Amino acid sequence: MTAPIAIIMGSQSDWETMRHAAETLTALGVAHDARIVSAHRTPDRLYGFAKGAKAAGFKVIIAGAGGAAHLPGMTAALTELPVFGVPVESKALSGVDSLYSIVQMPAGIPVGTLAIGKAGAVNAALLAASVLALGDDALAERLSAWRTKQTNAIAERPEGAA
């Protein structure tokens, strides 16, 4: 059976960021499939993946890319599955280029755009899991437990305070 969530990224170099989405999904017990797909460098692979994603059984796509980050938008243009875009932090412009490339989609082709970098990758995974949890009570409970654990890990007083 195909994993319900695809994590795609434009380059191997994005894995350092996108692995945080994979690790969050693993912590939630959600199966996922990570792949390198580039609108620029492997356009045929992107077309085949995005056109076939729904039939393959994917429910949500997380797409991370940096710089001229066309991957999330092009993926959304080719499938009606929900697409969450993660702007990868670029060297030249610190990810602002990635963010702007992903966030300003024209009306009609939506990409849910997250924050730049690790926080965006983690939150993309949590959002994707929330979508799946609408039809999966056991996952909804695991998500709730994940939140509780996070809350409990935060101390009430800062270390070093008198």
Ligand X SMILES: Nc1c(C(=O)O)ncn1[C@@H]1O[C@H](COP(=O)(O)O)[C@@H](O)[C@H]1O
39 binds ligand X (CB under 6 A): yes
Q: From edge to edge, which strands make up the β-sheet containing 83-88? A: 32-36, 5-9, 60-66, 83-88, 112-113
Is 41 near ligand X (CB under 6 A)? yes
CB of 30 to ligand X, least distance (A): 23
User: Residue 144, annotated ligand binder?
Assistant: no
| Residue 4 touches ligand X, criterion: CB under 6 A | no
Which DSSP string corresponds to 12-75?
GGGHHHHHHHHHHHHHTT--EEEEE--TTT-HHHHHHHHHHTTTTT--EEEEEEESS--HHHHH
Shortest distance, position 44 Cβ to ligand X, whole Å:
12
**Which tokens hold the place of 132?**
């799946």
Binding of residue 86 to ligand X (CB under 6 A): no
Minimum Å gap between C-beta 155 and ligand X is 35
What is the pattern of x (binds ligand X, CB under 6 A) and - over residues 12-31? -xx-----------------
| Smallest gap from residue 121 Cβ to ligand X (A) | 12
14 is in an annotated binding site: yes
* HSE (side-chain half, CA atoms, 13 Å) at 133: 18
Distance CA 29, CA 43 (A): 31
Annotated binding residues for substrate, as ranges? 11, 14, 41
Binding stretches for ligand X (CB under 6 A): 9-11, 13-14, 38-41, 65-71, 88
- Going by the annotation, the residues of the binding site are 11, 14, 41
